[in-house]
Structure 1
């Protein structure tokens, strides 16, 4: 049985990755400091013999006994509300955390996949964004703590690959949605659905013409899984290329939920990207991957999930003064 370490295991993406690797017959070690993760996301795995959990901060030294075949580094705040609230921790997990896990991969002769982001492209001057585009990022703006942490993550990962011969992968994740997202984390899908379920008007930052491309969680996990096993070390975009404006998306949520709310507009936050659409040519050619779940289908699943949450969870409002159209 091959063994995989998944950091950020109690988070949205990490918990779904735990499920996938358990399903594929791996022994899964989950690790999370629970600063943004929730044990409820993985509590169904605790009775399984092929799963163990470590409550640990990867910015501290990481030691695991025995062999280790794979490491998936998904430990990081991922929503604007989180990384603007805990900017130092965000920078540390992208730098020190990545350094520690690359060292562990080197020690164990393990393959490591690190979770980068479309945010490395910043507010892009190239559209759609392909992996050869270097980006348009402000290192000192409010988003820089996240963007530059991920850019450093990519740089040190490639350094370990070239200098130490570590078997590495880099996935650039575009906007992803699905069950286990937090309604109060400020990202656009849970934010809009939370507002609709509470009977509030939907808040759009900017004039609504900025674009995003939303990928359903099952498609995202499939792309990550294929990339891990691909043998390809350069970055690969994994996301859904079907683009929509935020204004159109808000109306789509209103139609889905059958609510009577209107859309209200507020100023666009600093450095918020105006366009976000992945070029997935490389994923198609190298991995044979492209998203399968239509947005209408995925949103219906997620809406049913959010409706099933306890009332006290639905009533928690996000502190969205820093929220972006993410």
Structure 2
């Protein structure tokens, strides 16, 4: 939070939010709080507490207290911030008032899918069910489940972009299917709790994400490109790079999640992607190489990595539904990548971001 560029980005994102006063004097639990999106959501709310007297209590739920203490050191002792050490795959009990839950906990990168496939599924199914039970027991105002572009599977050439009603192809009988199928079941659980318990739910479906809050352990292609660029290493392409994907800048992703919390329609899913952040993988690699003054090389992936890679070659999200309720991410890819690298390369904050 001492990084001026990062703080400026948060302020710009906050300006996009409508009905932020709904969070005033409430308590919000964020599962997966130390992750790329969760940590940025925490930063936005805590910034509003400090600068706009929002008085929103944040309960940051995660498994690693040391990581959390390092990431949230700026407000670890703040009266509006509490860390709850817990694994959502086990029963969760929170004392006191609880108004909102944002479920951002999940393995979200290929190496984790391949090494921890059971945990990946459980977090999106058992963990989601545990959080939904918690939501019902506290009679919360709204539950937000972070889903993914991955639920659409493979584009078989029948559409240019995935809208929220697209029914994609997934081969469920593979290790790699654990993540998208888990997200699909997580969405179904949300709808079941909405129908049976009248629980207010909303579902942002996020595009592939990158940004200054990324974990250095993230094995997604874009994250690896950025990490290599920061270390002045060659950008390594482990395919021909013809895959074409929608992306979302992590600060915009956090803002869009909060926007859905505050303004989305009950039971609806919303695609979340940058309007100007669709790119082929090889072009993204070249952009980062140019920014970091390095070069792109080709290298075969190892067997473990390959097991976790998506087979989708084209996954572009139609974001008109989200745009129509008032949220637009207009940052272009080049600018978002440059700002990500600028923030992460700030030596004063390097240890903060390398959590």
With structure 2 as the length reference, what TM-score do the two structures score? 0.82
Q: Tell me by how many angstroms 1:37 deviates.
A: 6.3
User: Are residues 40 and 64 of structure 1, via their aligned partners in 2, closer, same or farther at CA, if it must alter by over 3 Å?
Assistant: same
Partner of residue 345 from structure 2, selected from 307, 314, 317: 307
1:227-238 equivalent positions in 2, closer than 5 A: 227-232=260-265, 233-238=267-272
User: Are residues 61 and 184 of structure 1, via their aligned partners in 2, closer, same or farther at CA, if it must alter by over 3 Å?
Assistant: closer
Q: Tell me by how many angstroms 1:271 deviates.
A: 4.5
The equivalent of 1:209 in structure 2 is 242
Partner of residue 179 from structure 1, selected from 186, 200, 212: 212
Cα distance in 1, alignment partners of residues 174 and 65 from structure 2: 23
Equivalent position SS for 2:274: coil
8 Å CA contact retained: 2:69, 2:76: no
The equivalent of 1:146 in structure 2 is 179
The equivalent of 1:169 in structure 2 is 202
User: Are residues 309 and 274 of structure 1, via their aligned partners in 2, closer, same or farther at CA, if it must alter by over 3 Å?
Assistant: farther
Partner of residue 335 from structure 2, selected from 290, 297, 309: 297
Partner of residue 39 from structure 2, selected from 2, 8, 15: 15
Q: Which runs of 4+ in 1 moved over 6 A?
A: none
The equivalent of 2:282 in structure 1 is 247
User: Are residues 217 and 262 of structure 1, via their aligned partners in 2, closer, same or farther at CA, if it must alter by over 3 Å?
Assistant: closer
User: Are residues 36 and 230 of structure 1, via their aligned partners in 2, closer, same or farther at CA, if it must alter by over 3 Å?
Assistant: farther
Stretches of structure 1 lacking an aligned partner (at least 5 in a row): 317-326
Partner of residue 316 from structure 2, selected from 252, 277, 282: 277
Structure with greater proportional helix content: 2
Question: Is the aligned partner of 1:28 residue 2:61?
Answer: no
The equivalent of 2:9 in structure 1 is none
Deviations 1:220-263 (A, max 9, x none): 1221111111251211101114321111111111111122x233
The equivalent of 1:322 in structure 2 is none
User: Are residues 213 and 264 of structure 1, via their aligned partners in 2, closer, same or farther at CA, if it must alter by over 3 Å?
Assistant: same
Cα distance in 2, alignment partners of residues 204 and 90 from structure 1: 25
Deviations 1:81-126 (A, max 9, x none): 1222111111111111111111111111111101101110112233
User: Are residues 93 and 298 of structure 1, via their aligned partners in 2, closer, same or farther at CA, if it must alter by over 3 Å?
Assistant: same
Partner of residue 262 from structure 1, selected from 296, 300, 308: 296
Equivalent position SS for 1:229: helix
Question: Is the aligned partner of 1:82 residue 2:112?
Answer: yes
Partner of residue 198 from structure 1, selected from 200, 218, 231: 231
**15-24 or 199-208: bigger deviation:** 199-208
Cα distance in 1, alignment partners of residues 59 and 102 from structure 2: 10
8 Å CA contact retained: 1:256, 1:300: yes
**265-274 or 112-121: bigger deviation:** 265-274
Partner of residue 152 from structure 2, selected from 105, 121, 126: 121
Deviations 1:41-78 (A, max 9, x none): 22222021100001100111111112211000111111
User: Are residues 154 and 191 of structure 1, via their aligned partners in 2, closer, same or farther at CA, if it must alter by over 3 Å?
Assistant: same
Q: Tell me by how many angstroms 1:35 deviates.
A: 10
Partner of residue 88 from structure 2, selected from 58, 65, 84: 58
- Coordinate RMSD, CA, aligned: 2.3
Cα distance in 2, alignment partners of residues 80 and 54 from structure 1: 27
8 Å CA contact retained: 1:11, 1:37: no
With structure 1 as the length reference, what TM-score do the two structures score? 0.89
Q: Tell me by how many angstroms 1:281 deviates.
A: 0.8
Cα distance in 2, alignment partners of residues 116 and 223 from structure 1: 13
